[in-house]
Every structure is written in structure tokens, then in C-alpha cells.
Amino acid sequence: MKLHFKLALAAGVLVAIAGCMAAKGGSGASGDAAQKVYVKPGEHDKYYAFLSGGHHGNVYVYGMPSCRHITTIPVFTPEPAVGYGVDEESKAMLGGYTWGDAHHPGLSETDGDYDGRWLFINDMPNARIARIDLSDFKTRQIFGPIPNLSAAHACPFPTPNTEYVFAASRFSVPVPNREVKIADYATTFRGIVAGVKVDPKDGTMSLGFEILMPPFDWDLADAGKGPSHGWEFFTCYNSEMAHDSLEVKASQNEMDYFAAVDWRAAQKAVDEGKATMINGAPVLDPAKVPGIVYLVPVPKSPHGVDVNPTGEYICCSGKLQAEVSVYSFAKFQKAVEAKAFEGDRFGVPVLKFADVLEAKVPVGLGPLHTQFDDKGNAYTSLFLDSQIAKWKVGPPWGVVDKIDVYYSIGHLMASEGDTRHPTGEYVVALDKLSKDRYLNVGPTHPEAAQLIDLRGPKMQLLYDFPTYLEPHYAQMIRAEKVKPFTVYPLEQNSKPFAIKRAEDARVERKGNRVDVYMLAVRTHFSPDNIVVHEGDDVYFHVTNLEQDDDIAHGFGISWSSCNMQIEPGETKTMHWKAGKPGINPFYCSNFCSALHQEMQGYIEIRPKGAPVASLQRPKPELTAAVAAEIGH
Ligand code: K7E
Ligand code: CUA
């Protein structure tokens, strides 16, 4: 999110920004930094880092500490090289959308630690959550658009056993959405918090509950753990309920809030039938169902909310304040038990600031997000100061170190930093502006990320690496926890259109529909000559029979947008519409072998009504060659 202008206007700190920019420059790194990021050729990194792709709609995978970009996982956006959004399965998963704005990767957890099973990530504008399976680094489910909810920014932030992922609305809308006046915002618009259940066996997401919230802009979230397990916390801005000129009007109140949601109580209320169905979602109204959500005042337009590794403290950063407000979960519970409320907003009880606050830590200007290490320290990003402040969690609560970053840091990611056991080795600054740090590539600058060593008494800048647009948040997991397989075992391929024997390769037609059961193996497609009618709907079901590492085949068709990659052992289906009578070539688009260039074929398109066999088989010599290649 572009906070720059909003903050400058609202806080009147333009001078502060200009001043701090002018003071920057120089490398910041020194001494033994190069050795600390060096991973010898052929050796592997210690951590996987998953960086959100922002409005690129995907996930970038980096190795740490080398900061090498290893791959990009397509999630919400079509990707032509592998045919994501082109083959029938992934096309259906994208649901007609061709973009997403992905902000927050959320690794699955067991007992509050990353378990390496799945990675969840939000698409804010379209209110969707994707699940990437880390057994093959593929997007396997896109859940949503979640009904009634607009712009899932506080999302997905999994709970300690991945019981739930969450989505909260950044932009309130009428619930249910209908024809209303924008001017009726405060009476008609509502926020929504959605609890999305995750199946513990296979990760499948389904809607658990929705809670009707005040029409504020729900911003970020984090799950409780340890003593605060069972709760999810959400910050908001715009408790003023402005619907225009937000950069001024939404910064009037001294206090906004964080909301604390008791997700077990919410689920129980739904199971007991206390919800109203709206657009197919069970919606709970806190005015009618007490005990599921509370509000706690937070100074000055908070952004990040982060629970410390022990689960005792909730750290909120007021963007327009130079402090992190640290709340005690124990005090929160006490205040709830005592019903010490100072009124309510839309039926949600409001607790007293002083009752729940534990400490105020004066970190510096523009605090946004906080991460943690294994030694009881917190690290808060300072957008306006372009710094990270390291501070002690617990008395005597105070800043112990600061480091400059280049420039205007948003999120930061510590190694296993959202878990109960951060490793305290690294933090990566995810900077919003790179300005002069890289070769000039024109007006669109790359994003800037910086690796910082946390192991010494002082933070040490090790390395700068540019990224493509536009990581917001990221997570870093120990590499040994992630064990993806490198080929799909052919015997486990149960796709309905898969074929595994040379003699099963064929073309079948029924009416205008043509099904091509095709095999790909070095270095042939079988069949490689196909006859269709103009206008036919042709479905290519391509099975890659390889079982060797790194032997993917491509299948691309000339004069079309049809291309896909088929990995070893995999079957994919792609639709192609036959054009005018003539000849249309296809080929293997993914380099696979010495004779890759020979891996090609032709489609013969005949006029409507011309004779075309309803069953076509490849020439016997091709079938024999494929059989020889695969052993049967
Ligand atoms: Cu850029 Cu988490 Cu969307 Cu903060 S978010 S900076
Ligand atoms: Cu198969 Cu290139």
C-alpha cells in the first residue's frame, strides 16, 4: 500500500521525509557481509523465503541467505510459460479473473510453528484466498470471492494449527450489496470478518462464519498463540467512517481500534444456528450474539498488529504516532471478564485503552510492522524514518538498536518470525522505494529488499536484492521443513483423461467435440498428425510419461494463445478451437532433449462436412517408437 502521501498529508511530516531522504546514501554494508550471503555453486540455501507478488498476483520464491530468486509460483494471474490459467483446471480455478493483488503469504502451522505443508495468500481486491501445496509448489485452490466482503487485506494470517485463515474487509460495502447512496455510508455500509476453515488433512478451505463489523477499514491481522490461542486480532483505520478524502478525514480520531475475535465462540454460534444467511454465508451480528468480538482503542491510524512469540502481547503500530502500543492479553481477558466497557460501536463492546495497554515503546516515525527473534526482541519497520528499530519485549521496554534501510520500508520478514520459535538469524526489509540502489531501468524502479543479519549485538546489513512488483509481506521457513517431490509418480496419476500406454494414444470425436489423448515422451508426441473440422472444440489431454527429474515437455499451438507445460508424470487438458481449413502446427515449447526441436506435429483442418474419422490412431511406427521408449 502506498502510504507515502497519505502519511505526509495527514501528519504534516513532508519536511521529515525530505530531510531523512537527503541524509541517506552510501552502501550501508561492510566488512564480512559478502561471506555471510555466499552460498557456494551447487550448494543450497538454508531458508526458503516466500514473497508476495503484490499486484503481479503471484508468489516469488527466494533462497536465503543468498537472496537468489529460485522460482515464481503463479497464483492469481495467468502465466503463459507453464500455461497457468490456460489448461482447463487452472483456468477454472482463476474463475475468469486475470489479476489479483497478493499481500500476505501465510505458511501453515502446527503447534504455532511452520510445518511446510501449505502456503496461503490473499487476493485483496477480489476477496480470495489461494492455497499453494508445498509438496509441488502449485496453487491447488482459490477460495472466493468470499461473499459480502470487499477487499480482503487483513488476510490470511493462519491460526497456530491452521484451523482457520481469515479475511477482513478493507473497503466496507452494503451487506447485502444493493443500490444505495455512497452518502449513506455510516448507516448502510458494513465491514465483514470471515473465518475460513481449513481441512486438516488436505488443506481444503470452506467458509466457517462471517461477523458483521462496524464500517471501518479493517487493515491487518494476526493470530493469537499460547495463552491467546483461539483469538484473532484485526487493526482498523477510518473509525471516522469517512467515504471520501480519507487521507484527511480518516485521520481525525485520536483512537482507532483493534478487534479481538474469539473464533471458537463465533464458530459455536454458527453451529447453534445463531447466524443469518446472507448470500450463502452464515453472518453473525455482534449486537445479537455477544461475546464473539471486542474492540480495543489504538492511537492514530494503526497498520500492523503482531502477536509476540509467547502469545502474551499484541503489538500495534499507529502509523501517525512514533510509538508501538503493546497490549497485554492477560489484561484484555480481565477487562472482558469484568465487562469494563466504555460503550459499543455497532454492538461491539469497546474496552478501555488504559485497561489493556501494557507499554508504549517510542520506536520512531511511521511504525508499520513488527517481527520477532528468539531472544525476546522485536523489530519494527519505520516507514518515515526508513529504519528498523530493535526493541526489548518486556521491562524495561525500550529501543536497543536501529539500522537504516533504503528506502521507506513497509513490511519486514524475520526468519520463522511469525511462529512461536523465531530463529533470530535474519530479517529482510521489504522497502517500498529503491530510488538509486540499482541500474536505472526507466521510471518503473524495481522494489528493494535487504537482508539484515540479526545474530550480532548490532543489526548488520548484508545484501540488497531487487524484486519485481511488488512484495508486501513475506515469510521465511527453514528449508528442511519443505520437501517437494520432483516428478509426479505415474502410477498415482488418476486424472480421468490420463493414458499411460502407447496404444492408448488416439483422437476421438463426437459432434463438434474432439478429444485428443496424447502422450509426450522424448522425443515425440503421439499422435502427431491430427485431423479435425473447422470450428471444432478440440481438447488436448497430454500425459507426460517421463519419470526423470527436470524433463518437462511443452505443448504449444501456432496462431493461438494455447501453450502449457506438462511435468513428468502429469496430465493436463487444454482447449483449442479449430480455425479455418488449412494446416496448423504444434510443438514442444519446453527444451527437453537433443531432439527437442523435432518434437512437433500438425493439425489438418478440413472444411465442415468433409470426411473425418471419428477414431484416429497414430501410425504403427510411432506407437512402436513410444512403446520402445517407455517399455510397454
Ligand atoms: Cu503493504 Cu501488509 Cu498490504 Cu503493510 S501491507 S506496508
Ligand atoms: Cu519435449 Cu521439448
Q: Give the span between the Cα atoms of 164 and 379, in whole angstroms.
A: 26
Condensed to tens digits (0 to 9), the pLDDT of residues 384-413 reads: 999 999 999 999 999 999 999 999 999 999
The three grid cell numbers given for residue 319, joined into one nine-digit string? 502509523
Query: What is the whole-number distance in angstroms between the Cα of residue 51 and the centre of ligand 1?
Result: 12
Q: Which residue has the higher pLDDT, 212 or 10?
A: 212
Q: What DSSP character marks residue 553?
A: E
Give the three-class secondary structure for 223. Answer: strand
- Integer distance in angstroms from the first to the last C-alpha of the chain? 56
Residue type, 550: D
The three grid cell numbers given for residue 312, joined into one nine-digit string? 502474551
Closest-approaching ligand to the CA atom of 591: 2
Query: What is the whole-number distance in angstroms between the Cα of residue 7 and the centre of ligand 2?
Result: 53
The pLDDT of residue 396 is: 95
Tracing cell 494476526 back to the chain, one arrives at 222
Over range 267-282, report the average pLDDT: 98
Residues 616, 530: contact at Cβ < 8 Å?
Answer: yes
Query: What is the whole-number distance in angstroms between the Cα of residue 477 and the centre of ligand 2?
Result: 34
* C-alpha distances out from residue 402 to 300, 364, 381, 476, Å: 23, 10, 10, 22
The three grid cell numbers given for residue 572, joined into one nine-digit string? 493436463
Taking CA atoms only, the protein residue closest to ligand 2 atom 1 is 553
Q: Give the span between the Cα atoms of 74 and 472, in whole angstroms.
A: 16
pLDDT over 90 (residue 535) = yes
Closest-approaching ligand to the CA atom of 153: 1
What string of H, E and C letters represents the secondary structure of 404-438?
ECCCCEEEEEEECCCCCCCCCCEEEEEECCCCCCC
**For strand 68-74 and strand 367-372, is the pairing parallel, antiparallel, or unpaired?**
unpaired
Atom of ligand 2 nearest to the CA of 599: 1
pLDDT over 70 (residue 79) = yes
- Residue 117 Cβ inside 6 Å of ligand 1? The answer reads no
Residues 514, 537: contact at Cβ < 8 Å?
Answer: yes
Percentage of residues of the chain with pLDDT beyond 70: 95
Residues 613, 533: contact at Cβ < 8 Å?
Answer: no
The pLDDT of residue 13 is: 41
The pLDDT of residue 519 is: 98
Query: What is the whole-number distance in angstroms between the Cα of residue 628 and the centre of ligand 1?
Result: 55
Q: Which of 55, 121, 166, 368 to mutate to test the pocket of ligand 1 (most atoms within 8 A of CB)?
A: 368
Question: Among the listed ranges 155-159, 319-323, 517-521, 598-602, which one has the minimum average pLDDT value?
Answer: 319-323
Q: How many CA atoms lie within 13 A of 448 on its CB side?
A: 21
**What CA dihedral angle connects 545, 548, 551 and 556, to 10 degrees?**
10
Query: What is the whole-number distance in angstroms between the Cα of residue 268 and the centre of ligand 1?
Result: 32
Over range 121-125, report the average pLDDT: 98
Nearest in space to 323 (alpha carbons), one of 397, 219, 271: 397
Query: Which residues sit with their C-beta closer than 6 Å to ligand 2?
Result: 553, 588, 590-592, 596, 599
Residue type, 94: L
Percentage of residues of the chain with pLDDT beyond 90: 94
Closest-approaching ligand to the CA atom of 525: 2
The pLDDT of residue 26 is: 58
Residue type, 82: V
pLDDT over 50 (residue 14) = no
- Residue 1 Cβ inside 6 Å of ligand 1? The answer reads yes
Q: Which of 169, 222, 369 to mutate to test the pocket of ligand 1 (most atoms within 8 A of CB)?
A: 369
| Residue ranges of E strands in 99-254 | 105-110, 113-123, 128-133, 138-143, 152-154, 164-169, 173-174, 189-198, 205-213, 217-223, 231-237
Condensed to tens digits (0 to 9), the pLDDT of residues 562-591 reads: 999 999 999 999 999 999 999 999 999 999
Atom of ligand 2 nearest to the CA of 522: 1
Query: What is the whole-number distance in angstroms between the Cα of residue 472 and the centre of ligand 1?
Result: 5
pLDDT over 50 (residue 42) = yes
Query: What is the whole-number distance in angstroms between the Cα of residue 474 and the centre of ligand 1?
Result: 10
The pLDDT of residue 20 is: 41
Query: What is the whole-number distance in angstroms between the Cα of residue 595 and the centre of ligand 2?
Result: 8
H helices of 26-157, in order, are 33-37, 88-94
Q: Rounded to two decimals, what is the model's pTM?
A: 0.95
Query: What is the whole-number distance in angstroms between the Cα of residue 359 and the centre of ligand 1?
Result: 24
Condensed to tens digits (0 to 9), the pLDDT of residues 171-203 reads: 999 999 999 999 999 999 999 999 999 999 999
Buried b (16+ CB within 10 A) or exposed e, 186-224: eebbbbbbbbbbbeeeebebebbbbbbbbbbbbbbbbbb
The C-alpha R_g of the chain, in whole angstroms, comes to: 27
Residues 248, 238: contact at Cβ < 8 Å?
Answer: no
The pLDDT of residue 31 is: 75
Q: What DSSP character marks residue 415?
A: B
- Residue 103 Cβ inside 6 Å of ligand 1? The answer reads yes
